[in-house]
Amino acid sequence: MKVSSSLKKQLLKTNKLTFELLESGDIYKISYDDYQINLLNGNLLDGQTANIYLRIKDSKPYQYLPLIGIKANSRFKLEKNKAIYQGKVFDMRYQVTLTVLNDRWYYDVLVEPSKTINTYDLVYGQDVGIAHTGSIMSSEAYTAQYTDHSVYTGDFGYAIQSRQNQGDPQFLQLGGLGQITNYATDGFQVFGRTYKVDTKMVGLEDDLVNQKYQYEFPYLSLQSENLSGNKQNVFTFYGYYEPSRPEILRQMLKVQHNHQAVYKFIDFESNKFQGFAYDVLQPAPLPKKYIQQNYKNRRHLEKDEKGDILSFFTDNHVHVVTRKKESLVERQHGHLLISGDLLAGEDKTFASTNWMYGVFSSHVVLGNTNIQKLTGDVRNPLNIHRISGLRMFVEMAGRYQLLATPNLYEMGVNYARWIYQLEDDQIIVTAHVKLKDYVHRVSFKSLTGKTYNVIAMNQLVFGDHEYQRDFNIAIDGQEAILTADNNAFVKEKYPNLKYKFVVSDGITFGKDDVLFGEEKGHGILSFKVDNKESFTIDIVATYDEFKAYQLDLKIDQQAYKSFINNLTGYQFKHRKQQKPLNQLEDTLYWYTHNALVHYASPHGLEQANGAAWGTRDVLQGPVELFFAANRLDLIRDIILKVFSRQFSENYDFPQWFMFDQYYAIQAHESHGDIIAWPLKVLADYLAATEDLSILDEKVPFMSMTKNVWENHDATLKQHVEKTLNAIQNSFVKGTSLPAYGGGDWDDTLQPANQKLIDHMVSGWTPILLYQGLDGLSKALEGTPLGIRANTLKTRIKNDYEKHMMADDVPAGFVVFEKDHVDYLLHPRDKNTGLKLRLLPLTRSIIAEFIDSHQANYHNTLIEQHLKHPDGVRLMDTFVTYKGGEKTYFQRGETAANVGREIGILYVHAHIRYIEAMAKLGRADEAFEALFTINPILIKNHVKNAGLRQANTYFSSSDAAFLDRYEAKENFNLVKSGQVEVKAGWRLYSSGPGIYIHQMISHVFGIRYTHNRLILDPVLPDKLKGVEVLVRQFNKNIRIKYSYKDHVSGVKINGKLRPGFVRKLANNIYRPGGVEIYLTAFDNLGENILIELI
């Protein structure tokens, strides 16, 4: 069977400005050369996202109806450079005429008089991309964050100007040729958070909010003046576009208009396009005691102000979310299922993403998460596009109902379940994976045994995104197979990659013809189910031949749970503090899943693409997870893989690289700190293992020009020597301090020009280098390499103290001018408006780079200037934003959205604060900081926290300001906790692994070496007496924390074993704990009790 991905389109084109229209008249795409002006491509199921709405204003809430395309059921025709739409809304006939010119377009809306309506208005909403199509398809949300909006008033009221601040500076102005009285700039203001639940556009039920909101769904909306219903009216909206406007406008651009509006109805013959008719299911309420009866063991119960349940956790760390909570959150609930060999760090991971609002799978992929996707991504958080993902339409009372947001969404580590309550039935849909297999099952079941006709559908991509290729599918009974023949690029690397759909009896495979009567070219594989009470759809993948498999959800869930517990199965027991400890247990479980996704299948929920290892990322999240799990063997593998990517030309490392057969795809440059991470992790590994044999391992170099491996006989020791050479070559002239290069960890502060790349030094990177060199010098003490590392670290420390420290405060940056230095992000800074930077303050403590007096002062600075109710921020205030103007820092000065790094509370950095507090011995601060950024019941610890998904890592805490200007002006509200803070992007981060490491290894103080167990806790007094249970060394270990002020000794199974226990040397800030030689456990049986006294 051949499935087409070629939609039939008609072009409205003048010069390079092109509107691609579908046969329904809906706009598929607005483009100018390779630039895309709209954000979301239209299709024949959902229509276009942009539209013009007519709203009746005789009473509130306003009634509204669209005028264009499938949603309007309008007639349509093309005439030269015009598209004409006609239809009827309420009792009024209307005509919309779209006219396309070289650099602009006009919508003339002609409306006949009404016999019943007194007043109405018109709202034009336009989704905006203004970026390269590839950038938009990679991430609509990321593109949106750099799209600046500004609002001005002119002769015709409001107009909105948008500029793309990243890449080519495209420019768009939307306005009207009649009075525009109200506006909005983001789709969340118009559709509302609840749209994904009830499909009502709440922003249209009242006047537009007249607020500029810079978020992740640019949807510029203009509201016309009120129009009289008893006469004929014409109103014109326009869009004006420039592919490049480097100048940042501070006022409204005066656009000259010679447009003649269309005042007459045009007669034409045209059949209305017959779309697929369906409704979105609105479930009936659950029976009153359903939750209590079906989930008997509930914890972390989250309720709203009325007492309604929003979410909770239950047995096996399962998390359950209600429909009510989904309607309240900005970021929709989702889950990423993974299976395969999750520890190999190779191409052997199978993944699928599902969403609460009825996406039972999407982004199904074996291996490379960018290139080898079988199915595509959900492209909007509000469920506006329902063509993507595996969807189900169920026939009820003669009309199809889309299963969308359920009553309950249940997430286990290897499954998700949707529960839809009907008046006379309950429909349950379950998606699940099996740990070791490349198989994903979606099952449908009627609780009462009622039979249904169902249409399930899935849009295929077999590549990176939709509409790129047609598909040849081999149908064999209940199986539909797609091979790598469908994608030549994939076939070159993985010639035997195959995907297979396996369906239960009575299901018929089809295309999108099941929706539209004939194939339309959406690339859809459909599944027609006739009169069934239950059925399954399996998706199977392989790199060779398909194998038999068996699935059993309960058995598979327990196997997956055992796998997680074998890594991080720590249990905590305390007589009085059990609730917060349960919270840490659930977080530990889910963050292990999150960390494995980051390592084995790099992508996330908001960030659907990834596929590569970031050099610094893989050397933090996965490495620290495996340190906490005592999997030193896996850390060894990571070290060798990363060093194999070291460039033979300059001995630096790539910022990121693909780690599969697409290994030639890599960055050819990196930030200045990247080179430090391989050294640091090697030093940490050597300290834990004393495995000097790793230095003799054969590790090739990678050519950055040829993208192939060479020098295959090189040893790791030679790599380290070359790394030290490269570090020295990076020093700013006359110093032993590395140049900033392309940046450091904080992407907000990437340098804006070449001078900063070459002559600026980060206040953080030299300390990180020092830490790695210090560890290396100790691990290789007395060897030529160890002596060299020691010399180099001393030079770095001396020059840091000389150049980077002023008034006892480390500079965030220093710029070396010819005759002086400029301090940036420092009290002496006279340029940026920023006075303090977190990273040097915490890293200097972590690295024991400074003495105890300095460390305490650093902590005081953090407490006074950087600590907020929701965590520790990267700087003392926001970077100044001037509409995208770049002076010092690229992203920090070009992102229009107050989110992610721009919001300056990146959770990763807060976790490093926890590490610093543990190093200092500040137990209360370290323990509380674990909960400040913990998504479970976060409002118990952060009163101004907004609702968020509770079983998934969030990468940033974003103050809920409308834009950068409001944020800068009202930063004091962040410190006082008077502004809501929201969760940023989720799951795909090194953060979960780092969080686990800090919790286990530094707060509870449990660390492992090849022959010792280290116990070095930093716990608050309220946790004294806590017990930790873990399975390690083939023993059941129970650790009881009975000490008072600090650990002075150990009892093992009730006895002192002084010959096997050694007191740890103190770090320079606090007393150390103890280390136990593993031989102490010999002949003691399987159960070991360790009591710290």
User: For residue 271, what pLDDT is reported?
Assistant: 79
Quote the CA–CA distance of 414 and 432 in Å, as a whole number: 6
pLDDT at 749: 78
**What DSSP character marks residue 426?**
E
Q: Nearest Cα to 901, choosing from 965, 986, 803, 984?
A: 984
Distance from C-alpha of 249 to C-alpha of 151, rounded to nearest angstrom: 11
Domains present along the chain, CATH in parentheses: 45-128+149-163+171-242 (2.70.98.40), 301-559 (2.70.98.40), 569-997 (1.50.10.10), 1005-1092 (2.60.420)
List the one residue out of 814, 871, 816 whose CA is nearest residue 825.
Answer: 814
- β partners of residue 109: 96, 235
Instruction: Please give the DSSP secondary-structure letter assigned to residue 204.
Output: G
**How many residues comprise the chain?**
1093
User: Can you give the pLDDT at residue 812?
Assistant: 96
Q: What average pLDDT score do residues 303-311 get?
A: 96
**Options 747, 774, 799, 876, the catalytic residue:** 747
- 27, 19 in Cβ contact below 8 A? yes
What mean pLDDT do residues 462-480 have?
Answer: 96
| Percent of the chain scoring above 70 in pLDDT | 100
pLDDT computed for residue 1077 by the predictor: 97
Examine the pLDDT at 287 and tell me if it is beyond 90: yes
For residue 45, which of 332, 391, 353, 362 has the smallest C-alpha distance? 391
pLDDT score of 902: 87
When pLDDT is cut at 50, 70 and 90, the band that residue 1045 belongs to is: confident
- Whether residue 752 is predicted with pLDDT greater than 80 in this model: the reply is no
Q: What value does the mean pLDDT of the chain take?
A: 96
Residue 748 has pLDDT above 80, yes or no: no
pLDDT at 598: 97
The DSSP secondary-structure symbol of 906 reads B
pLDDT (tens digit per residue) in 52-62: 999 999 999 99
Q: What is the pLDDT of residue 569?
A: 96
Strands (E), 145-232: 147-154, 157-164, 171-176, 180-186, 218-224, 227-228
Query: Does the reported pTM lie above 0.85?
Result: yes
538-561 average pLDDT score: 97
| C-alpha–C-alpha distance, residues 653 and 672, integer Å | 10
What percent of the chain shows pLDDT beyond 90?
95
Q: Which of 518-522, 573-577, 871-875, 887-891 has the lowest mean pLDDT?
A: 887-891
Active-site residue, 1045 included: no
Q: Is the pLDDT of residue 755 over 90?
A: no
pLDDT range class, residue 125, cuts 50, 70, 90:
very high
Say how far residue 357 (Cα) sits from the centre of its chain.
18
Question: H-helix or E-strand containing 398?
Answer: none
Give tens-digit pLDDT for 392-447: 999 999 999 999 999 999 999 999 999 999 999 999 999 999 999 999 999 999 99
What digits encode the pLDDT tens for the residues 934-973? 999 999 999 999 999 999 999 999 999 999 999 999 999 9
Residues 125-147: what's their mean pLDDT?
96
Model pLDDT for residues 767-825, shown as the tens digit of each residue: 999 999 999 999 999 999 999 999 999 999 999 999 999 999 999 999 998 889 999 99
Does the pLDDT at position 634 exceed 90? Answer: yes
